[in-house]
Chains A and B, each alone.
Chain A
Amino acid sequence: MSQHNHTAVKSDWSGGISPFKTSYGKLMMWFFLVSDALTFSGFLVAYGFYRHYFIDVWPSAENVFTHFPFLHGNHPLLYVGLMTFILIMSSVTMVLAVESGQRLYKKGVKIWLSLTIVGGLIFLGSQAWEWGHFIKGTEAGSVQLSTGYYQLPDGEVKSTDGVIARWSDSTKQELILPWKNKDDAYYTVNGTELVNLTKKATQVQGANLTVNEYGHKLFGNFFFFITGFHGLHVFSGVILNLIVLLNVFKGTYEKRGHYEMVEKVGLYWHFVDLVWVFIFTFFYLI
């Protein structure tokens, strides 16, 4: 009788085994990733909200990130495309390291994990380069208007308080205002009108947390904060991968009989790639 009862209640949820058919460590890594994903969702939703709130004066990423190493001129999207490729590639090497670990193939884990670390470091370097160009800004810079109002040719009156207006070229004879006419072209000012408008204005170059030559300062703030927080994840991922790689060399996991630690840092690394997919879309494409 007791034997019968025992088998009847024995289920996945009766204790003693994981109902998720996975170890504690891996399960907790998944829970952490869900909470971290919600954190990033919060940031990106906040970004979307402010972007639409200041849609008039929000800069377009294709006018901000236009540089490419060793190339002159305008190359929007090209550099960030390269960064995305590097991160996807490092995700592939990571999943191959995990796959080698599942076969207890130590040499494979060593090679693929090392390549993942190299990919992560290249990505971090690229991000530093991108930040450097954003902080330094363009040669001509732009103008930040002071308190006041400006009447557009179609009659609409706009507040100029803190509005960023860019020079149309390096001769600084004409300013491009951040407002568009019916044909989707920006209004421009020159001559005496320009002199009147810029009487109390300040010259701005590059981007930091208080001012941004490309447009609304919140664009810079969100860019630094979200890509910075993502970069911090990449950095800690590289450190975790390094520690695990050292343990692989020492033979720690060989002794344990499984390479689950590689799978766990693998989950974290793919998550970092996943977040970049969203940052790429919301910051650079849309």
Chain B
Amino acid sequence: MEHQDESLRYFHKKTADEGAHTRKLVWRIFWILLAVTSLEILLGLYYKEWELSWNFVKTTFLLLTVAKAYLIVAYYMHLKHENSFLIKIIAIPYIVLAVYLTLLVLNEGIYSDLMERWLW
């Protein structure tokens, strides 16, 4: 049997219409990303003048960052339209380990004063 390129099996040529639809989506996501980034910069520059509390601004930054990350992974990296097993095997290990690491440092970080007294 003749060797067949494995990747070819999962390749489906897109039509011109599908392409136009994808391009429209790409540009829409671009404008959202640009707007969110501009909003972040404006917040960073003027939050004192607008008399917003730093905790509120900080939380907003974190939420907007996660939103941008979602848009990039879901639409630009196309993960949203992949097979559901692929989505799970990529998203679940990363989210579980990243959240675990963050909580671990937040929780155990309070002992770092103790650690310093031990070491010196």
Binding site for B on A (CB under 8 A): 12, 17-27, 30, 34, 37-38, 41-42, 45-46, 48-49, 52-53, 62, 76-78, 81, 84-85, 88-89, 91-92, 94-96, 99-100, 102-105, 256-258, 260, 266-267, 270-271, 273-274, 277-278, 280-281, 284-286
Contacts and interface: CB of A to CB of B under 8 A. Distances in A.
A62 B41 CA distance: 11
Interface of B: 5-11, 13-16, 18-19, 22-23, 26-27, 30, 33-34, 37-38, 40-41, 43-45, 58, 61-62, 65, 68-69, 72-73, 76-77, 82-83, 85-86, 89-90, 93-94, 97-98, 101-102, 105, 109, 112
Contacts of A95: 26, 76
A20 B94 CA distance: 17
B44 A77 contact: yes
A58 B73 CA distance: 32
29 contacts: A18-B10, A21-B82, A23-B6, A23-B7, A23-B10, A34-B94, A53-B109, A53-B112, A76-B45, A78-B41, A81-B38, A81-B41, A85-B37, A92-B26, A95-B26, A96-B23, A99-B26, A102-B19, A257-B8, A258-B5, A258-B8, A266-B77, A270-B73, A274-B73, A277-B68, A280-B37, A284-B44, A285-B44, A286-B61
B112 to A, nearest CB: 6
